[in-house]
Amino acid sequence: MADVRRARLVVAYRGTDFRGFAPNQGVRTVMGELVPAVSKVVRQPVELSMAGRTDAGVHAWGQVVSGDVPAVTDLADLQRRINKMCAPDITIRSVEWAAADFDARFSATSRRYRYHVWNDPAPNPLLHELTWHVHRPLDLDAMQAAAEPLLGEHDFASFCRRPKTPDGMEPASLVRVVSDATWSRVDDTPMLRFEIAGSAFCHQMVRSIVGTMVDIGFGRIHHTKMAGILGARSREAAGGVAPPSGLVLWEVGYDGRRWDAG
């Protein structure tokens, strides 16, 4: 096989018509389209690592993917050709050479997600696929107050779908560090945005947090209960799970060392 070199791709996709990210027999997935496209362009099979798995219907703006391609590859040409093959649902936003031990998933030190709620009696047909339509008025101040207890290091078991533990194994830790959790209104419109960043997120964590916060925004749960819900470390303590349409993997961070190839 020809000399290979590690490449790093920043990928955006509209998750609406995908059944998730990982390759999966018989259903349309992001990796199920991306891996064959890259392999076709570089004319050899490639394996790709991805920073954050996204569920069916979840979007990405700054998903990061890494893998080895022939060292002679013209990256700008690779990007153009993949973007033609994968349009309009998947786009390579940028591509660059990375250090040989860069791994999109294991080198990642932080992830940032955005969740959009369209909070108006009338739905928004233009942004239907990118939002959760919540028709009853939400109390943004109460939702922001409920975001404060999430900051710092906690066991997020109340907001996570716990992975199956094989016999005789320790259950996986659900301890995560959240560094930002902020609600805002976009440009005086009915669009509400929740931005959350942290070390890593367990399965359905952002959607469970948003679902519980929307219950708080309705007044169904008082915002002072949030610390107790988190402390309960039980899925039963939390509210509902917000739909995938409102969620975007916004950015992945790689702090701590230089991962570029130079």
Our CB check for its own copies shows the closer of 117 and 216 to be 117
Provide the 8-state DSSP code for 125.
G
Please state the separation of Cα 160 from the chain's center in Å: 14
Per-residue DSSP letters for 75-110?
HHHHHHHHHHHHTTTEEEEEEEEB-TT--TTTT--E
Asked if 61 is part of the footprint of its own copies (rule: CB under 8 A), the reply reads: yes
CA 209 → CA 52, 225, 238, 256, distances in Å?
18, 13, 8, 28
Our CB check for its own copies shows the closer of 18 and 156 to be 18
Of 21-29, 121-129, 143-151, 207-215: span binding its own copies (CB under 8 A): 121-129
State the minimum distance, in angstroms, from the CB of residue 19 to its own copies: 16
Our CB check for its own copies shows the closer of 13 and 259 to be 13
Would you state the structure tokens that stand for residue 76, as one six-digit string? 């700008």
Number of residues in contact with its own copies, rule: CB under 8 A? Answer: 23
Distance CA 190, CA 230 (A): 28
Asked if 125 is part of the footprint of its own copies (rule: CB under 8 A), the reply reads: yes
Figure out which of the listed residues 5, 14, 40, 233 binds its own copies, where binding follows CB under 8 A: 14
Catalytic residue among 3, 17, 55, 167: 55
Figure out which of the listed residues 24, 39, 49, 83 binds its own copies, where binding follows CB under 8 A: 83
Provide the 8-state DSSP code for 98.
B
Would you state the structure tokens that stand for residue 202, as one six-digit string? 């367990």
Does the annotation count 55 as an active-site position? yes
Our CB check for its own copies shows the closer of 9 and 178 to be 9
Question: Is residue 65 within a helix (H) or strand (E), and if so which, with residue range?
Answer: strand 59-70
Residues identified as active-site: 55
